[in-house]
Amino acid sequence: MDLEVRHLRMIVTVAETGSVTKAAASLGLAQPALTAQLNRIDRTLGGCVFTRDRQGARPTELGELVLRHARVVLPAMSALVDDARRLTSEHGTVGRVHVGTVSSAIGGLFASRLHTALPGALGVDDLLVTTATSWSVEETADRLASGTLDVALVGMCGDASPPAAGGLVWTAVSTDPVFVLVDEYHPVAGRDAVGLGELADALWLTAPGSGCFERCFVGACARAGFTPRAMGESDRMSCIDQVRGGHAVALVQPVLLDAPGVRTVALEGAPLRWTHHVGWRRDAVDRLPVDAVLRAATGAHRDAVQRSPRYRRWRAEHPVETA
């Protein structure tokens, strides 16, 4: 068996996820099929690429060697395909852009903006935008650096920055205050803002993530004079259901779409902030209209603000804090 580009993508995905099962799900393969492919790759290379056990999959010394080469080859192949598509665009082609998102309430709007903005800039008749969502900024940055993704939009706590290794370029798109989500019958549901200390007895929820947000939240609580009694992680729908039932409050991005039975309320003094960054590989600037990508990201944030009346009102009342 010859080693192919698809095999390199498999190896990179297993290394990024740390699990054959997770990698299979990401690649759209059955786990036994991916395991069989990895076994064939091992036989082709004459050694094991990964050590696989109950703790997951970890690259061997041979695996690290393959990964170093894969992270050069995959972006080069992506560039080759992009250049070929651009060359043939006069005959009517479909462009493709792979977008990764992390902890972002504007990811869908960003993808929609790319659908509209990029075909003309790329010189193609149509554009296929595929998205991959993760809870890990590091994992998404690795996929961007390896060429699996073309663009990434990530949300991070406050002034934190995404990884710049691997020749990545990041630009901050927006910084917003973090709001709190409460049930519609909560005593503060009708207010414009609430002090963090007024919710000292609450069970807190937040979206999963690998950054510093929980640490920053605990620090903000300490400054407000209390220690949170409990904090959990939950996906969006489960979070809303728990808040709607009156069992918890949640820390959310202010552009989160309204849902029945819950309300977003600003936190007085904006003690927590959330920043969106858009990124691409440094070598992508020759084939990707990065200015159009950045405009799409800022436009997506603007669209999200416009559909969020409470946040739009907050911004009008706090122009310095959103400048």
- Rounded to an integer, the average pLDDT of 111-139 is 83
214, two tokens = 């929980």
Categorize the per-residue pLDDT at 253 as very low, low, confident or very high, splitting at 50, 70 and 90.
very high
Q: What percent of the chain has pLDDT over 90?
A: 57
Categorize the per-residue pLDDT at 65 as very low, low, confident or very high, splitting at 50, 70 and 90.
very high
5-66 against 179-271: fold identical: no
Fold classification of 179-271 is D-Maltodextrin-Binding Protein; domain 2 (3.40.190)
Structural domain 5-66, CATH architecture: Orthogonal Bundle (1.10)
When the pLDDT of each residue in the chain is averaged and rounded to a whole number, the result is 88
**pLDDT at position 323 over 50:** no
Categorize the per-residue pLDDT at 108 as very low, low, confident or very high, splitting at 50, 70 and 90.
very high
Domain borders along the chain are: 5-66, 91-173+275-308, 179-271
> Is the pTM above the cut of 0.75?
no
User: Which numeric CATH code is attached to 91-173+275-308?
Assistant: 3.40.190.10
**pLDDT at position 63 over 60:** yes
